[in-house]
Amino acid sequence: MAFDKHLFQNIITEFTIDSDRLHQIAGDFRYDLRKGLEDVNQSSLRMLKSYVGLPTGDEQGEYLALDFGGTNVRVLRIKLLGHGKFEVVKKVAQPLRKPGEYDYVGEGSTAEEMFGFIAGLVDEAIEGDHTTKYLLGHTFSFPSEQTDLYNAKLIIWTKEFATKGVEGQVVNDLLKKALQAKGITNVEPTAVINDTVAVLLAAAYKQPNVYIGSIYATGHNTCYLESFEGQAQEPMILNLESGGFSKIIPNRFDLEFDKQSEKPGEQRLEKMASGRYMGELFGMAMAELLGEKGRKYDFTSIDMSNIILDESTARKDVAAIIKEHTGKELTGDDLTDVQKLASTIVVRSARVVTATYVGIIWQMAGGKPVQEQHIAIDGSVYEKMPLAKENIMRALYELLGDDAPKVDTVLENGGSGLGAAIAAAMSQK
């Protein structure tokens, strides 16, 4: 079959963000940020307080780090050595869902089962030692309302999590209870941070001039250090929950997908940009091109990555991936069009994400010259998705113009674990 060229072109246009719109998004994001600092009800950003500033880089000691943010949970024993150095002594990792075996994130799962499982992983990380005292830092990558560094209540699940009995609860209380039930009384959870905060702490532990931390993976979100200039308040990292930014005009695929999602109306930017959702949008557009409007084929962002990477003349990988997911055999131009569609969705994602970074940079500069800085980013989309990094750089140039050379991005790989250990160390102050 050959795609309807007119329809194809329309879909590409719907997923394209030109320079004017890019500037508009960055400006709107900055506006929401400013509004949010004055009165959070006036903003689509949650502006959540983390009760932590930047580390000195000299934090030391051995800590437990629990990294709970997506389908994989990790518990690490980390030795902070100061001077930005650290050592991972032990690492335990397990998925929260193993098809056919267990599922702690689906509809039928409960808080008790989930935290019981996690407490079991903590036990493995301390190798059954129930005597040595450990402080535990917990990177919990969901929107949480904090009143101090320990006390974080889950506001709402994101990333399609559906476990019962966690929303509205203090997550570290659930963890403590589960640890106690296993006789683990020597591990004391003392800090909860968002994964974006963990990335920022980890990057700032190692180098100066980092004020923004971001996750660009299954989920997407960004935090930054708010200086609270001219106010009594000490500088503090704010978790924006930028995935909830709602001022980008959605296209009809975004609207339709949102309607069918676990939490309609929530996480509008995240549903346009993060790895969990790009494949879904691609699957909807593909169905329409195949004459099956309204259907959604299941593709993942890894499929999209493999589609984009196929440089063979016959686009053999593209054909195979499409056949596997849709049962359809495509040839010729259709295959390059499929690649173009995947690329366009990835490029859109990178552009909107960058617009939010620049909104923050403008807000931090407050009309003064933009500061030299590195934006710390962790996550599979940033790290591995073809076209992501280069389009972030391109969009930074488009938006920042002469200031662009002052800003770059750095990969903070595994920052969630290290950041949790740093937060545990900082909790002792």
Residues that bind ligand BGC (CB under 6 A): 69, 141-143, 158-159, 194-196, 215, 219-221, 241, 243, 270
Beta-ladder partners of 68: 73, 140
CB of 10 to ligand BGC, least distance (A): 30
CB of 56 to ligand BGC, least distance (A): 24
- Which residue lies nearer to ligand BGC by CB, 221 or 409? 221
CB of 172 to ligand BGC, least distance (A): 16
CB of 20 to ligand BGC, least distance (A): 28
CB of 138 to ligand BGC, least distance (A): 13
Strands of 210-216's sheet in order across: 48-49, 236-239, 220-226, 210-216, 373-378, 407-411
62 vs 127, 226, 271, 404, 424, CA distance in Å?
15, 29, 38, 39, 10
CB of 159 to ligand BGC, least distance (A): 5
The residue with its CB nearest to ligand BGC is 219
DSSP 235: P
Token pair belonging to 183: 């006789």
- Which residue lies nearer to ligand BGC by CB, 199 or 341? 199
Are 350 and 388 contacting, i.e. CB atoms less than 8 angstroms apart?
yes
DSSP 107: T
- Which residue lies nearer to ligand BGC by CB, 197 or 318? 197
Name the 3-class secondary structure at 188.
Answer: strand
Q: What is the largest CA-CA distance in the chain?
A: 69
- Which residue lies nearer to ligand BGC by CB, 134 or 382? 382
CB of 194 to ligand BGC, least distance (A): 5
- Which residue lies nearer to ligand BGC by CB, 69 or 415? 69
- Which residue lies nearer to ligand BGC by CB, 134 or 245? 245
φ, ψ for residue 162, nearest 5 deg: -140, 15
Pairing of strands 210-216, 373-378: parallel
Token pair belonging to 296: 């959604």
CB of 295 to ligand BGC, least distance (A): 26
Q: Is the dihedral of CA 385, 390, 393, 398 positive or negative?
A: negative
286 vs 270, 289, 322, 345, CA distance in Å?
21, 5, 9, 12
Residue 165 burial by Cβ neighbours in a 10 Å radius (0-12, 13-18, 19+): middle
φ, ψ for residue 173, nearest 5 deg: -65, -40
CB of 76 to ligand BGC, least distance (A): 17
Are 353 and 272 contacting, i.e. CB atoms less than 8 angstroms apart?
no
Are 194 and 223 contacting, i.e. CB atoms less than 8 angstroms apart?
yes
**377 Cα distance to chain centroid:** 9
Residue 231 burial by Cβ neighbours in a 10 Å radius (0-12, 13-18, 19+): exposed
- Which residue lies nearer to ligand BGC by CB, 159 or 296? 159
CB of 288 to ligand BGC, least distance (A): 27
- Which residue lies nearer to ligand BGC by CB, 68 or 299? 68
- Which residue lies nearer to ligand BGC by CB, 69 or 417? 69
- Non-local CB neighbours of 380 within 8 Å, separated by 6+ positions: 217, 218, 275, 301
- Which residue lies nearer to ligand BGC by CB, 103 or 270? 270
